[in-house]
Amino acid sequence: MVPAPGGEGLKIPGPHRAYIGVSDHRRAHIGALDGLRGLAVVAVLLFHAGWMRGGFLGVDLFFVLSGFLITGLLLEDLGSSGRLGLMAFWGRRARRLLPALTVMVMSTLPLAWAFARPDMLRFALQDAPWVAAQSVNWHYVHEQLGYWDAAGTRLFAHLWSIGVEWQFYLAWPLLVALAGKGPGGQRRVAFVAVAGALISLLLMIRLGAAVDTTRAYEGTDTRAFSLLLGAAAATAPVRDAVAGLPRLVVDVICVPLLCGLSVSWLLTDGEKAPGLFQGGMFAHSLGSAVLIALLARTPDGLVGRVVGSAVPRRLGELSYSLYLWHWPVYLLLPRPVAGLDGWGWTITAVGLSLLAALVSKAAVEDPVRLRARWATGRRGWATLAVAGMMAVGLWAVIPRPEPGAGTVDVSMLNQP
C-alpha cells in the first residue's frame, strides 16, 4: 500500500514539510520512499520465485511505509481542521485500493477455471468472499493453513497482507482521533503507537513459538508493530529528533541501515531463521522506520538519491498492482514454460506481472484516482454497482470442483 503495497506516489504529509522546505499549500513528493517500495516489491517477487529466501521481509517494509504515510495524513488533517474526516479518509482508501483488487480477483477466477488445477480453483472460490470482506488473513488463520507449506495452492494467499492493512486503516484513525486532539496530541499518538508496537511484539513472541506459525505471521495483532512503528515515525517527537541532523550524519546512518535490510532479505532463511518470531521481524521493522524517517528528513542525500533513482521509483509506483498480480501469474504460469525454467521462467513471470500491473494502473487505478468521468458522481456509483454484480455473478456461475479433485504440488514455489 502502503497504503497496501503500491504507490499513488508517496507524498510527504503536512507535518513533514519542514524537512524539505516546502510551503504549506502543497505536498512534496519524495521519490526515495517510492524507491523503497520498489525495492520491497522486488524482494517479494524474488522470494516467491525462489531466489531470495528472506524477500518476504519486503512486506514488513510495505507495512512500515503504510503506517508512516497514513499517520502523517491523519495528523495533517487533524492539525488543519481539529477533527478527522473519517468517512472521507476511508473513501479515499477505498478508491485507491479496491478497484484494482476487484479487477484482479474478477480476472483471476476465470483464468483459474480455464488453466488451474481443480483444487486451486476450488480454494480460490472459497477464499474470494473473504478477500471481498478484507479478512482473508483471519480466514487462513482459522483454517490453520500451514502458511509456509500450503499457500502454493491458494491464488489469493498473498492478499493476507492487504487484509491486515485494511483492518489497520479501519482501527488506527479512530485511535488517532481520540489521542491526537489538543495540546500534546502528537506525543500521545506516538506513545500509543510505540506501546501498541511493543504489545504486538509480545504477542508475536508468544504465538510464534507454535508449530504452525500462520497465526503469528498473518494475525493483524501480531503484525501491527510494523504499521505502528511507521506511524510513530510520522509523529512530531520523531520528526523533532531527526530535524537537526546534518546531511552527512543522515547518510552515515542510512547507508548501514539500507545495507542491513538488504542483507536480511538475502540471508534470512524463511520461517526457520533463528529469532525471526522472537524479535527479528520487529528489528527489521524498526530499522525500516528509522530509515524512512531519515529519508523523509533528507531525501536529497546520498541514499535518498540512489533509492529514489528512476528504476526503483517507477517500480514503487507500480508496486501495488505488481503485488496484486504477481502471485496468480506465478501459480497459473506452467513451470517450465516454452522450455524456460530457472531464471528464464522467472523473467517471463515477472514480465507478465509487470504487463498486468501497467494495464491495471493505466486502465483502472489512474482513472479512478484522477477522477475520470466514468469514476465520479452517478457514473461512479453505477460503475461500482455493475462491478459488484459482475463479481458476485462470476463467483456464483463458475462450477465448483469436487473436494479432493486435482493434485497439490507446491515444491516449485515459495509461499508469500
Answer whether residue 320 is part of any domain.
yes
User: What per-residue confidence (pLDDT) applies to 210?
Assistant: 87
Answer whether residue 36 is part of any domain.
yes
User: For 79-92, how does the pLDDT look when each residue is reduced to its tens digit (9 = 90+)?
Assistant: 887 788 899 899 88
Closest C-alpha to 127, from 96, 100, 162, 171: 162
Which residues, 6+ apart, have CB-to-CB distance to 369 below 8 Å? 8, 95, 96
- The pLDDT confidence band at residue 25, using thresholds 50, 70 and 90, is very low
Is residue 406 scored above 60 in pLDDT? no
Answer whether residue 109 is part of any domain.
yes
Task: Work out how many domains the chain is built from and give that number.
Answer: 1
Q: What is the average pLDDT across 116-135?
A: 95
Residue 336 neighbours by CB distance under 10 Å: 13
Is residue 52 scored above 80 in pLDDT? yes
User: For 137-194, how does the pLDDT look when each residue is reduced to its tens digit (9 = 90+)?
Assistant: 999 999 887 767 767 889 999 999 999 999 999 999 999 999 998 889 999 999 999 9
For the chain, the distance separating the N- and C-terminal CA atoms, rounded to the nearest angstrom, is 16
d(CA 335, CA 356): 19
d(CA 72, CA 384): 29
Q: Classify each residue of 180-211 as buried b or exposed e, where b means 16 or more C-beta atoms within 10 Å of its C-beta.
A: beeeebbebbbebbbebbeebbebbbebbeee
Answer whether residue 413 is part of any domain.
no
Global model pTM greater than 0.85: yes
Q: List the grid coordinates of 199.
A: 504489545
Answer whether residue 411 is part of any domain.
no
- The pLDDT confidence band at residue 372, using thresholds 50, 70 and 90, is confident
Answer whether residue 231 is part of any domain.
yes
Answer whether residue 103 is part of any domain.
yes
- Residue ranges making up the domain that contains 108: 11-397
